[in-house]
Amino acid sequence: MTKVDRRIQKTQEALRNAVIELMSDKNFDEITIQDISDKANVSRGTIYLHYMDKYDLLDKLIESHINQLREVCEVTADLEYIEATQIWTAYFEEHYSFFSLMLTSKGAPYFHKRFLNYLIEEVTKEVDVSQGKNEGFRKDVLVHFIAAAQVGLVEWWFANGRPIHHKVLAEQLGRLLERNL
């Protein structure tokens, strides 16, 4: 794997942070490249060296978090649901500003869809409808039910300002997953 220049990493981080900060004040569609440039303290040309447009920047930011969540799931694959969800919710807590904006903002419906699709992929790996408590269910119905419930729970947590500690959320979510998977 090739090593990325630190200056490039710092610039891309500044741009990602700028987008998140700007989205906390206004709808993404209202944000201009000039706004991002000013906030990140880089030229407009620098932005275009890294991204095609503001949508590409947002898309790359979203994909980065989805990929990191995938890595978290891979690391936790052999753990019990409660232990795995504790790592998962700790990631949400660590990246609160991003997820809070993406899951509670009207300007980021694309993230909601990507997050749901990501969870559908992950839950599909876990669901077994050939035996046990889920025998007889259609796999697609069960997968969509569980994935949508997870998205809804996480959205609720962010929309309500994290009313419970992320470890409590993880424990309860883990127990719910144990019952249904």
Instruction: State the CATH number of the domain containing residue 43.
Output: 1.10.10.60
pLDDT at 107: 59
- The domain of 23 spans 1-51
Global pTM reads: 0.87
Whether residue 161 is found in the same domain as residue 84: yes
Q: For residues 22 and 31, is the Cβ–Cβ distance under 8 A? A: yes
Whether residue 94 is found in the same domain as residue 147: yes
Of 29, 51, 73, which residue constitutes the final position of a domain?
Answer: 51
The Cα 35–Cα 44 span in angstroms is 9
Mean pLDDT by 10 residues, the chain (181 residues): 81 94 90 96 95 95 94 90 94 94 79 94 92 92 96 94 96 93 84
State the maximum Cα–Cα separation within the chain, in Å, rounded to a whole number.
Answer: 59
Whether residue 15 is found in the same domain as residue 74: no
Whether residue 80 is found in the same domain as residue 146: yes
pLDDT at 106: 65
2 in helix, strand or coil?
coil
Whether residue 107 is found in the same domain as residue 153: yes
CA dihedral in degrees (165, 168, 173, 179; nearest 10)? -170
Whether residue 18 is found in the same domain as residue 87: no
Whether residue 71 is found in the same domain as residue 160: yes
Of 16, 34, 51, which residue constitutes the final position of a domain?
Answer: 51
| Domain count of the fold of the chain | 2
Whether residue 35 is found in the same domain as residue 68: no
pLDDT at 180: 86
Q: DSSP string covering 122-148, please?
A: HHHHH---SSGGGTTS-HHHHHHHHHH
Enter the DSSP assignment of 28.
G
pLDDT at 118: 96
pLDDT at 5: 85
Whether residue 111 is found in the same domain as residue 47: no
Whether residue 31 is found in the same domain as residue 6: yes
Whether residue 33 is found in the same domain as residue 98: no
Whether residue 77 is found in the same domain as residue 96: yes
